[in-house]
Amino acid sequence: METITKQSPQGCNNICPTPPPLPGPAMNCRRKGSATKGNSCASTATRDLWDNLFDRGYRADVTIRTNDGGIIYAHAGVLGMASPVLRGMLKQAKGVGHKRLISIHGVQHDAVRVFIRFLYSSCYEQEEMKELVLPLLVLSHAFVVPQLKRICEQQLENSLLTLDNVVDVFQLSLLCDAPRLVLLTHRMILRNIKAVSATEGWIAMKRSHPALEKEILESMIYEEQMEKERIRKLNERKIYLQLYEAMEALVHICRDGCRTIGPCDKDLKDDQKPCTYEACKGIELLVRHFAGCKLRVPGGCIHCKRMWQLLELHSRLCADSGSCRVPLCRNFKDKIKKQFKKDEMKWKVLAKKILSTKRIGGEPYFLSSKSISSY
């Protein structure tokens, strides 16, 4: 007969166990009694247990050979569970008795030791990480240890990335499939190209990977072109916005009047509230000049020419020229029908861009940007 205890699920109908704490980031989940040495979520006793198992090599059944004849003792069960690549190496490894021999070359002995220690306790010392972050990134990628790889990427991103090592990190991030790190290092290189191009890392890359240097320089040229294009579009949008505000101010003056200028049937007062249209003052000066200039014909006066252009532009944006109070609005509407197709297209494109810049869907006295294409 099965014995039911308090720990058994069948015997705890009236006992509600305390739910476990929610998981948190590996670097910020320390609780009372947790480790203070290095970086880990494990309790002090658990971490010390795994560290001692690694440091003392108790009943170790794997010998790892590193550069310069270094030797590290480890346990096949721990290595195989922590890394699928090491598990495959252990299956093919040969040895004497129950001990198997594998080799990890290409990085310094200390980096392999820190790497193997991390597989035991998920711990590392900050000083060791600072010194060995690049070989640890390579090892974590080569042996498929994603937790350590994420830590290396975070450490580089937060504090360990410098102008001296950015080229090396950029090349390693390409090899180690770390796209975020590739983007960060690439941007850092482009922002500091003059200083970076004088480092030993850049000189070595230029000598060993000239195609990569060419790609970086081409991307820098592309970024500069994109920045110029962005500035050009911003300036263009600023001009279109100013033209739209000028159209609003022109309608405001001709329809409602503004302090000292407006239609004849309006009672204007000097003590009116300040005008909310920023372009109103400039349009007022232009209208006053236009009314009194003796060279009013187009081409005779630069200010009058600008006024003629504003009046024609308004007529193309105006939704109802029959009731519009802006002078010559209907006349310009009639003129549009007789205009050459080439000139007509230029005005139509300008009107559409002005309305699109302001993102309006139809003002009380302006057409919508969609209506511009149809007239």
Three-state DSSP string of the chain: CCCCCCCCHHHCCCCCCCCCCCCCCCCCCCCCCECCCCCCCCEHHHHHHHHHHHHHCCCCCEEEECHHHCEEEECHHHHHHHCHHHHHHHHHCECCCCCEEEECCCCCHHHHHHHHHHHHHCCCCHHHHHHHHHHHHHHHHHCCCHHHHHHHHHHHHHHHCCCCCHHHHHHHHHHCCCHHHHHHHHHHHHHCHHHHCCCHHHHHHHHHCHHHHHHHHHHHHHHHHHHHHHHHHHHHHHHHHHHHHHHHHHHHHHHCCECCECCCCCCCCCCCCCCCCCCHHHHHHHHHHHHHCCCCCCCCCHHHHHHHHHHHHHHHHECCCCCCCCCCHHHHHHHHHCCCHHHHHHHHHHHHHHHHHHCCCCCCCECCHHHHHHC
Q: Is residue 67 pLDDT above 80, yes or no?
A: yes
CA distance 314 to 125: 71
What CA–CA distance (Å, rounded) separates 275 from 295?
30
Bridge partners, residue 366, by sequence: 318
Provide the pLDDT for residue 327.
84
- Please give the pLDDT value at position 96: 64
Mean pLDDT across the chain, nearest whole number? 80
Name the residue among 372, 332, 366, 375 with its Cα closest to residue 352: 372
On the question of pLDDT at 183 being above 60, the answer is yes
Q: What mean pLDDT is predicted for residues 317-326?
A: 81
User: What domains can be seen in the chain, in order of their start residue?
Assistant: 44-128+136-143 (3.30.710.10), 234-357 (1.20.1020.10)
Which tokens is 168 given?
Answer: 């090396």
Distance CA 143, CA 136 (A): 10
The pLDDT assigned to 155 comes to: 94
Query: How many CA atoms lie less than 13 Å away from 153 in the CB half-sphere?
Result: 20
Confidence at 372, pLDDT banded by 50, 70, 90: low
In the structure, what pLDDT confidence band is assigned to residue 7 with cuts at 50, 70 and 90?
very low
Q: Using one digit for the tens of pLDDT, what is the confidence trace for 133-172?
A: 999 999 999 999 999 999 999 999 998 999 999 999 999 9
- The token duo for 220 is 């820098």
- Residue 173: pLDDT above 60? yes
Average pLDDT over residues 64-80: 91
Worst-scoring range by mean pLDDT, 12-26, 205-219, 281-295, 355-369? 12-26
Q: What is the mean pLDDT of residues 40-57?
A: 78
C-alpha span between 314 and 316 (Å, rounded): 5
Residue 107 banded pLDDT, cuts 50, 70, 90: very high
Q: In the prediction, which pLDDT does 267 show? A: 67
pLDDT at 232: 93
- Which has the minimum average pLDDT: 4-8, 115-119, 160-164? 4-8
Contact 121, 47 (CB under 8 A): yes
Q: Which two tokens stand for residue 193?
A: 């190209």
> Does residue 261 have a pLDDT over 60?
yes
Query: pLDDT tier at 207 (50, 70, 90 boundaries)?
Result: very high
User: According to the model, what pLDDT value does residue 357 have?
Assistant: 75
> In the prediction, which pLDDT does 373 show?
54
Name 94's bridge partners: 101
Q: pTM value?
A: 0.62
Which pLDDT belongs to residue 308?
A: 86
Beta bridge partners, 261, equal 258
pLDDT band at 326, cuts 50/70/90? confident
Of 12-16, 286-290, 342-346, the range with the lowest mean pLDDT is: 12-16
Tell me the C-alpha distance between 298 and 212, whole Å. 58
pLDDT given at position 359: 56
